[in-house]
Amino acid sequence: MNARVGSFSAIQFSARSLLAFVLEPTQPLSQWFDSLDDWLSRSPNFFASKPVILQMAGMEIGLKEYRDLLGDLARRHIRVMAAENTNRLLVGPHLPPVVAGGRTVNALKLLEEESQAAESPAPPAPPAGSHSLFVDANLRSGQSIAHLDGDVTIVGRVASGAEIIAGGSVHVYGALQGRVIAGASGAANARIYAREARAELLCIGGAYVTSEDMDPKIEGRSVEVTLNDDELKIRILN
């Protein structure tokens, strides 16, 4: 008997770091869901297609209630990729895997500076070999732009539920209602500029602020966002 010998292809493994949102349910769950629904009414697509981790520390619930919790989140388009600090009875097939560790971003401080006479600082030059991406159109809800080789400039509106991920800085010459992640390639000097700030999320270098945490005074204003000592600073330009 002749044995057939096939070519062997090595399996490639790699690791990837990503930004995941952590939700921490509290009891009674009915009240927690009421608060969540109120928040989602303002940003309905915020968690859509985003990795979410459940922080279950202190939650004393049974298996049925846990499955109901996951189902109620899924109906709100929140799909849980993993859970932290779960009871050992809540681990098993068809349930989210358990994770531990990870870096929690420190609380952010918003710095507002009314600039009247002074001109805004020029944006940092892109790294050598990089190039900018210009989009002369509106970015609709559900659309995503990822450009890790340089800056991204949007001449138009970024709708709620839309997302921009840039290796460098991000410039939005219109209403910014969606999510922006700048400096995704490790550029700590990246900045975010928006002519009309109404963002769901602003992030540079792993530090981020959501619409819930933003000072209402910046809503609708022209802003510059920078990273300083792992904290975001938001400066009103006009």
Confidence of residue 43 (pLDDT cuts 50, 70, 90): low
Instruction: Quote the percentage of the chain above a pLDDT of 70.
Output: 76
Q: State the pTM of this model.
A: 0.53
What's the length of the chain? 238
Residue 117 has pLDDT above 50, yes or no: no
- Could you give the CA distance from residue 165 to residue 202 in angstroms, rounded to a whole number? 10
Q: What does the pLDDT look like over 157-172, one tens digit per residue? A: 999 988 898 889 999 9
CB of 56 closer than 8 Å to CB of 90: yes
Pairing label, strands 179-182, 201-204: parallel
**What pLDDT, on the 0 to 100 scale, is given for residue 209?**
87
Per-residue pLDDT averaged across 131-142, rounded? 88
CA–CA distances in Å: residue 170 to residues 10, 26, 155, 202: 39, 36, 11, 10
**What pLDDT, on the 0 to 100 scale, is given for residue 102?**
62
Written as six digits, the tokens of 84 are 């932290």
Residue 197 has pLDDT above 50, yes or no: yes
Residue 214 or 123, more confident: 214
CATH number listed for the domain at residues 133-236 = 2.160.20.70
Residue 47 or 178, more confident: 178
Residue 113 has pLDDT above 60, yes or no: no
- Which segment of 20-29, 115-124, 138-147, 213-222 scores lowest on mean pLDDT? 115-124
Per-residue pLDDT averaged across 81-108, rounded? 73
CB of 55 closer than 8 Å to CB of 27: no
CB of 152 closer than 8 Å to CB of 135: yes
Task: Show the CA angle centred on residue 84, arms to residues 83 and 86, nearest 5°.
Answer: 85
Q: What are the residue boundaries of the structural domains of the chain, listed by start?
A: 21-90, 133-236
DSSP secondary structure letter of residue 217: G
Q: What does the pLDDT look like over 64-75, one tens digit per residue? A: 998 999 999 988
Show Cβ contacts of residue 40 under 8 Å, excluding neighbours closer than 6 positions.
46, 47, 76
CB of 51 closer than 8 Å to CB of 22: no
